[in-house]
Structure 1
Amino acid sequence: MVAPTRSGRRPGRSGTKESILSVARTLFADKGFDKTSVRAIAAEVGVDAALVHHYFGTKRQLFVAAIALPVDPTKILDTISAARKEDLGRSLVSSVLRVWESDNGEALVAAFRSMIATGDTSLLSTFLMQVVLRDIAARVDEPAGSAPERVNLVASQMSGLLLTRHVLKLEPIASMPADRVVESIAPTLQRYLTGPLPGY
């Protein structure tokens, strides 16, 4: 007697995780984080969305895996989200520095260097604007409509700090104690986030 065909999600098979990552990378690059759904990724691969969640957890965790970051930004984002509005600048720079200068720091810098070198800047900008800075933007949109400019200014400052301290390794910034970097950069970030902006 022939066993009946089972319906439901397609079981995991050799190469499925890699296929999910490949499709996710493409869709995130083309459509961005917000407009890419786990269901769409699963459909493109030919598996059930539950299998994607089984392998990778949340959509944000899938995105981190797709761009091969060596650290999940969840903890740093939770720390920043918990900060008072007037402390966002300090929380942001101190939290990011902790990640850059952790055991995973060199791998993280290498991942960003690779994305820039290969011209894969769409994923990098998606990560910065739709994952790291999205929740902050919602908190600092005063006056209304100023949030995109505010978080772009923050991104320019933080990417410049990453480049100067960890890629070009310009002195004295490269060897400056982290707490001194925080004291120097945090007021500027806070001004970008909550201070007056020309034209508003």
Structure 2
Amino acid sequence: MSEQPTAPTSRPARGRRPGQNATRQAVLDAARTRFAADGFHATTIRKIAADAGVDAALVMQYFRSKDELFAAVMSISPDALARLAGAFEGPEDSLGERVARAHLSVWESEPKDADALLAMLRGAIANKRATLQLREFIESRLREDAHRRPHDDHDTAVRVALAASMLIGILVGRRVVQVPVLTGEDAESIVRRVGPALQEILVPRTT
């Protein structure tokens, strides 16, 4: 008789909050993997809940919609952001190669960051909000360099948009469409080919 009162009363008080945090993280991890594998449209709350081992209603308690969950998945590590920002440190005449190398490194090396960004990339093909997120994510990093030299705002915006489009196209080819000749190419080989083009776009020639 003495066993029954002790078990129910002690467990909720001790484990409730850590349990909630762990469950939320499990949902985020499952969503990141599912979005990366299936894309935005094919992913459902039910599939994510099943992957996380929880009820779909519980997922909706943490995230009110699939869009909101997708947005939460988009966060990447501070280290990855630092690598993207670090591309703008160094000689101006090698900026294009550094930007290409940093983006390929972040999108393809660290599995957790790569999965999150691949989810963003797949989502951008099917979802307007995701398209905006992806464009703003890449363009905001490319704008890091804008304040360092005299510039025309419109010209800078066009250059940044062109550079972002080029990077997105390369990533779609390698990671989504998986064009064989691109997926089989070494990242540094791509950097050597793309770097000069990005250099021309990002660093205007002065006459």
Q: Unaligned 5+ residue runs, structure 1?
A: 1-13, 19-64
CA distance in 2, matches of 1:172, 1:156: 20
Q: 1:193 to 1:141 in 2, by over 3 A?
A: farther
Partner residue in 2 for 1:71: 77
Identity in percent = 28
Provide the residue aligned with 2:171 in structure 1: 162
Gaps of 5+ in 2: 1-19, 25-70
* Range with greater deviation from structure 2 (75-84 or 142-151): 142-151
Whose Rg is larger? Answer: 2
Mapped contact 2:74–2:116 kept (Cα < 8 A): no
By percentage of residues, which structure has more helix? 2
Cα distance in 2 for residues equivalent to 1:71 and 1:180? 26
After superposition, residues 90-169 of structure 1 pair within 5 angstroms as: 90-102=97-109, 103-104=111-112, 105-120=114-129, 121-129=131-139, 131-139=140-148, 142=151, 145-169=154-178
Which residue identity lines up with residue 155 of structure 1 in the other structure? A
How does 1:171-186 map onto structure 2 within 5 Å? 171-186=180-195
CA displacement at 1:141 relative to structure 2? 5.1
Distance 2:150 2:102 in 1: 22
Aligned partner letter, 2:182 = I
Q: CA offset at residue 128 of structure 1?
A: 2.3
**Secondary structure of the structure 2 residue equivalent to 1:82:** coil
Deviation per CA, 1:12-54, whole angstroms, max 9, x where unpaired? xx99xx9xxxxxxxxxxxxxxxxxxxxxxxxxxxxxxxxxxxx
Contact 1:100/1:109 (<8 A) preserved = yes
Distance 1:124 1:100, change over 3 A: closer
Matched, 1:187 2:196: yes
Amino acid at match of 1:126: E
TM-score (norm 1): 0.58
Superposition RMSD in Å: 2.9
1:131-170 residue CA offsets vs partner (Å, 9 max, x unmatched): 3122123336546642111111101110000111111010
Counterpart CA distance in 2 for 1:141 and 1:150 is: 14
The SS at the match of 1:149 is helix
Residue 181 (structure 1) shift: 0.5
| Change in CA separation of 1:87 and 1:122 when aligned onto 2, cut-off 3 Å | same
TM-score normalised over the length of structure 2 = 0.56
